[in-house]
Structure 1
Amino acid sequence: MVLNNPYATYQNNSVTTSSPGELTLMLYNGCLKFIQQAKRAVESGQIEEKNTAVQKAQAIISELMITLDSSFSVAKEMLVLYEFANSRLIDGNIKNDPALFDEAAEIITEFRDTWKQVIQMNRQKQYANVSEI
């Protein structure tokens, strides 16, 4: 129950009060977390847990793909990379190959790190505009 669990309350508040950019960053971090869980599950022979973690990572990638704004040319290039990361997850799940999960994680990490830089640059611009007032 959210009311009795301070951590769950914190998580709920962090999602409901975050900007769209911060929510996207949370998706990238969540995807990476599930990929790492899948990798650990393969290494420990927990096939069901691996499959669950891969499915969660794939659901996040699907959400990221759906929310791409196709009016920007870079969205088409991003879609190809998301599809490739998703295919690595599928192959890694089928073959129980952690190296394939690493390939997917590399792509998602690049997106996450880039997105983090964009958020930081936007914050700097906002603070610069506020200080000029």
Structure 2
Amino acid sequence: MNYSQAANIYSQTKVRTSGRGQLIVMLYEEAVKQMGIAQEIMESPENRDPGNIEKTNKAILKTQEIITELMASLDFEKGGEIAQNLYSLYTFFNKELMTANIEKNVEKIKSVKTFMEQLHSAWKEIAKTTVVPEQPVRGLNITG
């Protein structure tokens, strides 16, 4: 097993064993990471290289997919006005990222990234204070 395979298995295990709040934190972390990749490439002198344009596009699209997943995870019944506000923010973020990708506008990426970093910090605090009930451990019935 190589490093990449081991890292992938570790990530899958982390996702399967995390609570809802921690999963949201992981989504924010990955979104911020992807925007950082896009920002770094766009600010580099070689940003017009076709390979870099493709990498930027992939990073932005991955961020948009994550934001769409965050939108889908909102519970409007329990979340009320907060869920509505987050939905509006996520919609705005996706539009800004689409424009940033089309226009190759790094300032729009920086702006969305700053907001996402703030939301990430808030969700980290929420995840720390939210107690996830542990699943009872059951023994195996080996007698049949």
TM-score, structure 2 as length reference: 0.78
Match of 1:50?
A: 56
Larger Rg: 2
List alignment gaps of at least 5 residues for structure 2: 134-144
Q: Larger helix proportion, structure 1 or 2?
A: 1
Shift of 1:2: 7.9
8 A Cα contact 1:81 1:107, kept in partner: no
Structure 1 contact 88–104 (Cα < 8 Å) conserved: yes
Residue 59 (structure 1) aligns with: 65
Task: Quote how far apart the aligned CAs of 1:77 are.
Answer: 0.9
Distance 2:4 2:20 in 1: 28
Tell me the C-alpha RMSD between the 2 structures. Answer: 2.2
Q: Shift in Å at residue 3 of structure 1?
A: 9.6
Aligned residues: 125
Task: Name 1:11's counterpart in structure 2.
Answer: 11
In 1, the alpha carbon distance for the partners of 2:22 and 2:89 equals 21
Q: Which runs of 4+ in 1 moved over 6 A?
A: 1-4
Deviates more, 1:38-47 or 1:111-120: 38-47
- 1:33-63 residue CA offsets vs partner (Å, 9 max, x unmatched): 1111111222231111100110000000001
Q: Which blocks of at least 5 consecutive residues in structure 1 are unaligned? A: 127-133
1:129 aligned partner: none
- Which has the bigger relative contact order, CA under 8 A and spacing at least 6? 2
Q: CA deviation at 1:6?
A: 2.5
AA of the residue aligned to 1:110: Q
Corresponding letter in the other structure for 1:88: E
Q: Could you say if the C-alpha distance between residues 32 and 4 of structure 1 is closer, same or farther in structure 2, counting changes exceeding 3 Å?
A: closer
Identical aligned residues as a percent: 30
